[in-house]
A and B are shown apart, each in its own frame.
Chain A
Amino acid sequence: MTQNRPWIPYLLILPSVAFLALLFVVPLVQTIWLALSDNGAPSLANAERMVTDINFTRSVRNTFLLTIVVVPVQIAIALAMGTMVAKVGRGRETILWIWTIPLGISDLAAGLVWLSILQNTGYFNSLLFSLGVIGRQASWLSYQTPVALFIAIAVAEIWRGTAIVMVIIVAGLNQVPKEFKEAAEIFGAGPWTRFWRITLPLIRPALQSALILRTVLAFEVFAVVYALGGRNFPVLVGEAYNWQNQNQNYSVAAVYAVLIMIISLAATLIYLKALKVDPERLS
């Protein structure tokens, strides 16, 4: 039947194509145009305005720094958690469920949770005070304590975003037949060698997905940073937000959006190349 009417498949995918075009491609083209035009003519004036802003360099540096610190730590913690939970028999589901609770909390709420812990009158200071470590309220989140602020944001991000990495890695670990590890064990590989030489290479597809997802999300970090540091810790999305809302300059905000997209796409490409999952290893 479809042979007589070759347009049927196209008709069937038309709604989704139209949907994507309307909600993704059109805004994308509009944003790019907004970013690269001035008074209806192509122009780099907005880009120039962005890079000459005093917060631009800081926001780029902060975002990259945060990504470089947070993503590897998240991958390492997720690998450790995933390996541990794989050894657990009963109660495994419960542990996984508890570990994934941060996933269910929105990033702004997560930022506020950590704010209540780390602000001047927060739980962290109360604890330190009651232990006698500090004599009076210390501030951790001000522009005068950039290192403490960075650590606080990094910790909050790690806490919030590790669960999704772990879920992906646990799924990857479940795909590896236990005979591979047992064979390695019999032929003399210790736990460390088994992990590096057998497990890690075999979960490479999962690792790749987790890295891409986490890195892209890390470049888009905003709500947690905004809740904890406000404008003391500028990041790319935060700057886009400020140009859009405070300065009412949609064009510079659009340049930021395009920049974030380019960085994300580049990171994804690098991962796909670096962790190339060759068809050879798929048994």
Chain B
Amino acid sequence: MANIVIDRIRKSFGAFQALKEVSLTINDGEFVSLLGPSGCGKTTLLRIIAGLETSTSGDVRIGDRSIIGLAPKDRGLAMVFQNYAVFPHMTVYENVAFGLRMQKADDARVKAQVEKAAGLLHIEPYLDRYPNKLSGGQRQRVAVARALAVEPKVLLMDEPLSNLDALLRLEMRTELKTVLQSAGTTTIYVTHDQTEAMGLSDRIAVMHNGVVEQVGHPVEIYNHPATRFVGGFIGSPPMNFIKVPVSNGRVAAGAEQLAVPEDVGNEIVLGLRGEAVELAPLPQGIEMKVRVAEPMGSHLLLTGSIHDQPVRVILPASETVRSGDTIGLKLDRKRITWLSPESGKSFPAVSA
């Protein structure tokens, strides 16, 4: 069993708190992404798990055994670095074999494991080459193969795709998912790219300023962000936030009356995904002033305002709306997230 428990980890660099009590549980065989903007503490957390950095306080357990005092090599994990850290003075074969050699594996096992890992990552043709003869994507594969060759219980990856160009990134993403699914390794994957996290993960932990803001299934996080930050960080375009007046526990959206969670004041923030709307005639729909209409081929992207607050919505490509139009929108009430204007936290979903 290689479930990972991150228990109230704190990390300070001098007076600066990089991690403020981070707790997270990752199940055996699960793929969890740490997602957040640059500087939010993702790498620091990963390095603490790896043993390359010491935490100020807190505990990390793998399979119910505390590893916080162990040397990196005794933690039973492997890591893929952002810059790959593929050893330039060793052939691809020796790079992939490195972990096994350190474990004093016999030559037959080294050969078998290297060939298996190389096969998974499609790098067999390059085994005799030196890394400087490889492209970024190929080095990336070598780094992953080196990690998988030791059959780690836990695999840590720090932005492994961020140095690749967009096309290669998409290709490697799909391939990583295939490879890791078949290996069944517990994986923690650090990224600042939300589409990468959405595509790869069983669950995502969204981090912000050294705090985990929300942990959940990608779709759950997308549809019901726990905070305004999460809604704004995930999705393209990001979630719209519209401050609206509340009267008698209801909000008027055109002709419709939307129920809001109890015990709110006289204002609430309506969180709306850009695609959770459809065109409706005025005054039944809520009024939107369209500043720019951009036909994207697959859909129509509208930028404008509702209640004088900026919004971006997406309509089917077949609709004809032009810049400057005023349109009515019907909101998909099941996909609305209500948030507190004061704390920025979301309320639990309301049924009615």
B98 contacts chain A at the CB level, 8 A cutoff = yes
A282–B132 touching, CB < 8 Å = yes
Q: Complex Cα distance A179/B130, Å?
A: 18
Residue of B nearest to A181 (CB): B85
B73 contacts chain A at the CB level, 8 A cutoff = yes
A179–B150 touching, CB < 8 Å = no
Residues of A within 8 A of B (CB): 177, 179-180, 182-190, 193, 198, 201-202, 204, 279-283
Question: What size tier do the contact residues of chain B reach?
Answer: 20 to 34
Contact with A186, one of B73, B87, B103 (Cβ below 8 angstroms): B73
Q: Complex Cα distance A180/B50, Å?
A: 15
A186–B132 touching, CB < 8 Å = no
B87–A193 touching, CB < 8 Å = no
Of the A-B pairs whose beta carbons lie under 8 Å apart in the complex, a sample of 29, sorted by A's number, is A177-B85, A179-B83, A180-B87, A182-B52, A182-B79, A183-B81, A183-B87, A185-B52, A185-B71, A185-B72, A185-B73, A186-B51, A186-B73, A187-B78, A187-B99, A187-B102, A187-B146, A187-B150, A188-B99, A189-B98, A189-B102, A190-B73, A193-B102, A201-B89, A202-B88, A281-B88, A281-B132, A283-B86, A283-B132
Interface residues of B in 115-155 (CB under 8 A from A): 130-133, 146, 150
Contacts of B103 in A (CB 8 A): 188
Contacts of B72 in A (CB 8 A): 182, 185-186
A186–B131 touching, CB < 8 Å = no
Contacts of A186 in B (CB 8 A): 50-52, 72-73, 77-79
B98–A187 touching, CB < 8 Å = yes
A48 to chain B, nearest CB (A): 49
Q: Complex Cα distance A189/B85, Å?
A: 15
CB 8 Å contact bits of B275-297 with A (1 = contact, 0 = none) = 00000000000000000000000
Contacts of B150 in A (CB 8 A): 187
Q: Complex Cα distance A177/B88, Å?
A: 11
Contacts of B73 in A (CB 8 A): 185-190
A182, A183, A184, A188: most-surrounded residue (chain B CB, <10 A) = A183
B98–A180 touching, CB < 8 Å = no
Residue of B nearest to A281 (CB): B89
| A281-B132, A282-B88 known; A188-B102 Cβ under 8 A | yes
Q: Complex Cα distance A212/B131, Å?
A: 28
Besides the known contacts A185-B73, A280-B130, 6 further A-B residue pairs in the complex with CB atoms under 8 A apart: A186-B72, A186-B78, A188-B99, A193-B102, A280-B132, A281-B132
Contacts of B102 in A (CB 8 A): 187-189, 193
Contacts of A184 in B (CB 8 A): 87, 98
Q: Complex Cα distance A207/B81, Å?
A: 27
A108 to chain B, nearest CB (A): 42
B250 to chain A, nearest CB (A): 56
Q: Complex Cα distance A281/B87, Å?
A: 9
| A187-B78, A187-B99, A187-B102 known; A198-B87 Cβ under 8 A | yes
A202–B99 touching, CB < 8 Å = no
B150 to chain A, nearest CB (A): 7
Interface residues of B in 35-62 (CB under 8 A from A): 50-52
Q: Complex Cα distance A202/B52, Å?
A: 21
